[in-house]
């Protein structure tokens, strides 16, 4: 009815003071996670299917026939395994970085004026982390909204020119295996435990930040945008995108969409025989980061043990048909 409703942080453009330390903790844990995984992948082999999105952690790929890629019928649904990378472990979920999330909305014609950075890093920046390479506007006066319309945003400010750094940033997975050397054998277990703790801290922090800060995800494709509303870049090519003119179908995102767990089959004996299709109902699954750390020597957290099915005895092929 034309009545202005007062907004609370961060919906009014101001920071939440209690979440600023959480954002710094998440970014520090994110750096530790990338460094630890880069070192562990020199020791723990990861295999990826070249025809589908399946990933496996072990000395060799599994023999479970669940590939649905091109020409999978000719291969009887067996996977074509190739050497995996850190992008197969930490799926690259990126988002546009905006100097002012409440400013001018990103259009299709202006999409190249904005950098693409990991969505977790962009969430931390909007939550209060100061990075010289990616500046962000910090308001002292709240914005005013009437319904869903912004009536006072404090003017449009041009973003400052960030300093160009020739070094690869620590919070990006690009060429991470080249930046970090293989670990010493005596430090593998310690690195695995610190990496697993960093993974849990990132997931805890992202969950806490997303309770306050808005993150949007497309309901048709994996695109994610951190901000009060999604962008207008017409890049969606999924189901019936012609009816939407290529625009995304924005909705509130979940933690798994911005930080996907990427479940893989759990291997109890990495040096044993490969997993078989006839016994797949006895195998468990775990997030790939957890699986890599467990195979490196870390203890499996209690909350993942039921899904890893550690209490089930895997029978032999001859015994499988006798199991009820």
Q: pLDDT by residue for the chain (324 residues), tens digit each?
A: 677 878 889 998 899 999 999 999 999 999 999 999 999 999 999 999 999 999 999 999 999 999 999 889 999 999 999 999 999 999 999 999 999 998 889 999 999 999 999 999 999 999 999 998 899 999 988 888 887 788 888 878 888 887 765 444 778 888 888 889 999 999 999 999 999 999 999 999 999 999 999 999 999 999 999 999 899 999 998 988 999 899 999 999 999 999 999 999 999 998 888 999 988 889 999 999 999 999 999 999 999 999 999 888 888 776 767 775
Using the Cα atoms of residue 296, residue 298, residue 300 and residue 301 in order, give the sign of their dihedral: negative
In a domain, 96, yes or no: yes
Can you tell me the distance from the alpha carbon of 131 to that of 47, in angstroms, rounded to the nearest whole number? 35
Residue 86 structural domain: 17-215+257-320
Residue 241 CB coordination number (10 Å): 17
In a domain, 147, yes or no: yes
In a domain, 120, yes or no: yes
Tokens 């590939």 map to which residue? 67
In a domain, 66, yes or no: yes
The runs of H, that is alpha helices, within the chain are 20-40, 86-89, 119-126, 176-179, 188-210, 255-258, 288-295, 305-308, 317-320
Can you tell me the distance from the alpha carbon of 134 to that of 318, in angstroms, rounded to the nearest whole number? 60
Using the Cα atoms of residue 113, residue 116, residue 119 and residue 123 in order, give the sign of their dihedral: negative
Give the model's pLDDT for residue 167: 46
Q: 3-class DSSP state for residue 301?
A: coil
Using only C-alpha atoms, the chain has a radius of gyration, in whole angstroms, of 23
In a domain, 177, yes or no: yes
In a domain, 188, yes or no: yes
End-to-end CA distance of the chain: 64
Q: What are the distances in angstroms from CA 115 to CA 40, 45, 119, 130?
A: 29, 32, 11, 16
Give the model's pLDDT for residue 164: 65
Q: What are the distances in angstroms from CA 295 to CA 168, 204, 240, 259, 314?
A: 29, 23, 42, 22, 18
Tally of structural domains, the chain: 1
**pTM score:** 0.91
In a domain, 193, yes or no: yes
Give the model's pLDDT for residue 165: 57
Determine contact, residues 119/94, Cβ cutoff 8 Å: yes
Determine contact, residues 289/264, Cβ cutoff 8 Å: no
Nearby residues of 211 by Cβ (< 8 Å), 6 or more positions away:
none
Give the model's pLDDT for residue 170: 78
Measuring CA to CA, which residue among 78, 79, 77, 84 is closest to residue 47? 84
Long-range contacts of 107-116 (CB under 8 A, 24+ apart): 107/231, 107/232, 107/233, 108/232, 108/233, 108/234, 108/235, 108/246, 111/231, 111/233, 111/235
Give the model's pLDDT for residue 31: 94
Measuring CA to CA, which residue among 161, 164, 153 is closest to residue 105? 153
In a domain, 45, yes or no: yes
């Amino acid at each position: 009815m034309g009545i202005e409703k007062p907004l609370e942080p961060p919906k009014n453009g101001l920071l939440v003071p209690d979440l600023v330390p959480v954002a710094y903790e998440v970014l520090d844990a994110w750096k530790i996670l990338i460094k630890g995984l880069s070192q562990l992948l020199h020791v723990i082999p990861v295999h990826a299917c070249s025809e589908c999105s399946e990933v496996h952690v072990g000395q060799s790929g599994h023999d479970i026939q669940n590939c649905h890629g091109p020409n999978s019928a000719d291969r009887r649904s067996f996977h074509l395994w190739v050497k995996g990378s850190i992008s197969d472990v930490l799926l690259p979920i990126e988002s546009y970085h905006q100097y002012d999330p409440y400013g001018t909305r990103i259009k299709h014609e202006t999409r190249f004026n904005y950098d693409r950075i990991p969505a977790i890093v962009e969430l931390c920046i909007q939550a209060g982390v100061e990075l010289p390479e990616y500046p962000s506007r910090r308001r002292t006066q709240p914005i005013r909204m009437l319904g869903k319309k912004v009536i006072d945003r404090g003017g449009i400010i041009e973003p400052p020119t960030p300093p160009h750094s020739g070094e690869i940033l620590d919070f990006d997975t690009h060429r991470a295996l080249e930046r970090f050397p293989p670990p010493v054998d005596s430090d593998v277990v310690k690195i695995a435990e610190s990496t697993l703790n960093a993974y849990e801290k990132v997931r805890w922090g992202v969950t806490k930040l997303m309770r306050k800060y808005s993150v949007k995800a497309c309901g048709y494709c994996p695109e994610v945008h951190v901000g009060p509303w999604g962008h207008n870049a017409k890049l969606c090519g999924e189901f019936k995108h012609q009816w939407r003119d290529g625009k995304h179908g924005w909705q509130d995102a979940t933690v798994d969409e911005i930080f996907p767990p990427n479940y893989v089959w759990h291997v109890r004996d990495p040096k044993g025989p490969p997993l078989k299709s006839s016994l797949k109902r006895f195998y468990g699954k775990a997030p790939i980061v957890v699986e890599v750390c467990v195979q490196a020597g870390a203890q499996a957290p209690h909350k993942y043990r039921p899904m890893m099915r550690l209490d089930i005895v895997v029978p032999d092929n001859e015994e499988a048909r006798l199991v009820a």
